[in-house]
Structure 1
Amino acid sequence: MHRPLRTAHGLPEWGRCGVMGVINVTPDSFSDGGRWFDTTAAVKHGLDLVAEGADLVDVGGESTRPGALRVDEEEELRRVLPVVRGLVGEGVLVSVDTMRASVAERAVAAGARLVNDVSGGRADPDMVPVVAEAGVPFVVMHWRGQSVDMNDRAVYGDVVREVTDELRSALDQAVAGGIAIERVVVDPGLGFAKNAEHDLALVAALRELDAALGRPLLVAASRKRFLGRVLAGEPGSAPPPARERDAATAAVSALAARDGAWAVRVHEVRASADAVRVARAVAEAAR
């Protein structure tokens, strides 16, 4: 049966699962190895993502891959702000991927329309007040700590129940801090303090998460380790490199769209843009 789509107040309604294209303005991204570290290249790539079907573009200047160390505030600002300004100047809907309130504040002042914080406001105590004051939508992700040691935190008795409970707590904290609930998007945090089995269980439970949390759901599976484990096949076999996981990413995008996700966050846009449109057409046909 067709289900109404959830929306985030302050952002366009696409009438289907949205597609968030990723720009990593970092030299050490797990997925693209610094290909967009240069501002000009990053802006051009963002425009290419939009041409391929992205509804918005997520700009981040700090790697959150497992084991990554943090960069300082000045360097993150240097990486992110020119790209945000360049894309906004071209009419692109931009989100900023940051755990720092100062970066979020300056990116929003430069025209970013959404703050995507993988810590859900917990890494920086100023984040929630800054976003509340700015009045922009906010992504709250399931998070158990910084990337440097997050793999050690991948311990669950019931991953779906625990992620749901911990996400609800983070959502409640954001709302208590002044962010309007109508502006909050939630993200189960695939790959963050989770192993492949945990990630697959969460993808299988997207409808359950959507129903339990009652907020738009962002699904960020793109090129992640669990897809590499699936594609490797036999235990002990080497997984394909991150950039060879785009077809698998599109498969998750189709599943997420079918199960009511608000948007998917992906590095390679075209296949996922096609996938969410097909999923919507099938849902419409089932009415």
Structure 2
Amino acid sequence: MPEPFRIMGIVNVTPDSFSDGGEWFDEAAAAAHGRELEAEGAAILDVGGESTRPGAEPVPKDEELRRVVPVIEALAAGGTEAQISIDTVKLAVARAACEAGASYVNDVTAFRHDPELAGFVADADLDCCLMHMRGEPRTMQRDPRYDDVVSEVKAFLEERMAFAVAEGVDETRIQLDPGIGFGKTTAHNLELLRRIDELVALGRPVLVGVSRKSFLGTLTGRPVGSRVAATVAANLLAFERGATIFRVHDVAPLRDALTVAAATLRAP
């Protein structure tokens, strides 16, 4: 029986990501890290060359290409069985990444930054993830407010999915991400996790990205590198409520936890 979840391992090729910036900035180190994440159970490897942490500055296209393309080429040439994802908002980067071996586009702007990216995803028959974000990384955490965060995120994702389908994207290729930590307070993040089933009701796989994020530090008082247990707990709660894709830095402990949870929930 296939596993009822997929883990997306994070391969940051950046000097400034909030958790592991600079750790895998070297091409060979990043590719080796991706292979390690696959060995631990990652079904998707998400390669990104532009940090989306709060306050992050945009990265020029040529620099982003220089960072990610060699890593994707190395992973593809190494015979990885994991699906390779490109975490980008730029059409030119997505095109080059897919030529190098990626087959999944993870766009934190849900095709708002570069609307033509939707047509490329459609024409190339790629998988994609559409994420909710209030504002942009530089501004998203400046006093975010919602009347009902879940209803507003759901309406946004429904609208962006309709746009993608209108541009030719096969609906079965679309996954949805509520954007935990992207223009949300701790209370907003917890409400999204509590009511994730309302987003699952849109009918597409829901991806959750809570790995090591600051709201977990707010709750536990632990620094970034010590939030593995909190990350696992949040993902298990999301899984129980219907989320099926989990984007994390620490693949092995989450895979073990999800395996036990899946066996328990499936048991008669």
The TM tier, using the shorter chain, reads over 0.9
Say whether 1:70 aligns with 2:58: yes
Higher relative contact order structure (alpha carbons within 8 Å, sequence separation ≥ 6): 1
Following TM superposition, by how much is the alpha carbon of 1:167 offset from its aligned partner in structure 2, in angstroms? 1.2
Contact 1:16 1:257 (C-alpha < 8 Å) held by counterparts = no
Say whether 1:22 aligns with 2:15: no
User: Which residue number corresponds to residue 7 of structure 1?
Assistant: none
Local SS of the residue matching 1:190: coil
Residue in structure 1 matching 2:87, options 81, 97, 102: 97
Following TM superposition, by how much is the alpha carbon of 1:153 offset from its aligned partner in structure 2, in angstroms? 6.1
Following TM superposition, by how much is the alpha carbon of 1:111 offset from its aligned partner in structure 2, in angstroms? 1.1
Gaps of 5+ in 1: 1-12, 233-239
User: Which residue number corresponds to residue 213 of structure 2?
Assistant: 224
Q: How far apart are the structure 2 equivalents of 1:14 and 1:258?
A: 17
Contact 1:144 1:153 (C-alpha < 8 Å) held by counterparts = no
User: Which residue number corresponds to residue 179 of structure 1?
Assistant: 169
Of residues 63-72 and 147-156 in structure 1, the stretch that sits farther from structure 2 once superposed is 147-156
Amino acid across the alignment from 2:216: L
Distance 1:258 1:91, change over 3 A: farther
Q: Residues 260-275 of structure 1: matches in 2 within 5 Å?
A: 260-275=242-257
Contact 1:23 1:45 (C-alpha < 8 Å) held by counterparts = yes
Q: How far apart are the structure 2 equivalents of 1:153 and 1:84?
A: 37
User: Which residue number corresponds to residue 121 of structure 1?
Assistant: 111
Local SS of the residue matching 1:146: coil
Gaps of 5+ in 2: none
Q: How far apart are the structure 2 equivalents of 1:151 and 1:101?
A: 26
Identity in percent: 48
Distance 1:98 1:153, change over 3 A: farther
Q: How far apart are the structure 1 equivalents of 2:208 and 2:56?
A: 21
TM-score norm. by structure 2 comes to 0.96
Of residues 69-78 and 164-173 in structure 1, the stretch that sits farther from structure 2 once superposed is 164-173
User: Which residue number corresponds to residue 260 of structure 2?
Assistant: 278
Following TM superposition, by how much is the alpha carbon of 1:91 offset from its aligned partner in structure 2, in angstroms? 2.4
Local SS of the residue matching 1:128: helix
Following TM superposition, by how much is the alpha carbon of 1:262 offset from its aligned partner in structure 2, in angstroms? 2.2
Alignment: residue pair count: 266
* 1:153-182 C-alpha deviation (Å, 9 max, x unpaired): 621011111111111111111111111111
Amino acid across the alignment from 2:119: P
Q: How far apart are the structure 1 equivalents of 2:143 and 2:106?
A: 22
Q: CA RMSD in A?
A: 1.3
Contact 1:16 1:276 (C-alpha < 8 Å) held by counterparts = no
Following TM superposition, by how much is the alpha carbon of 1:152 offset from its aligned partner in structure 2, in angstroms? 2.5
Q: How far apart are the structure 2 equivalents of 1:121 and 1:28?
A: 24
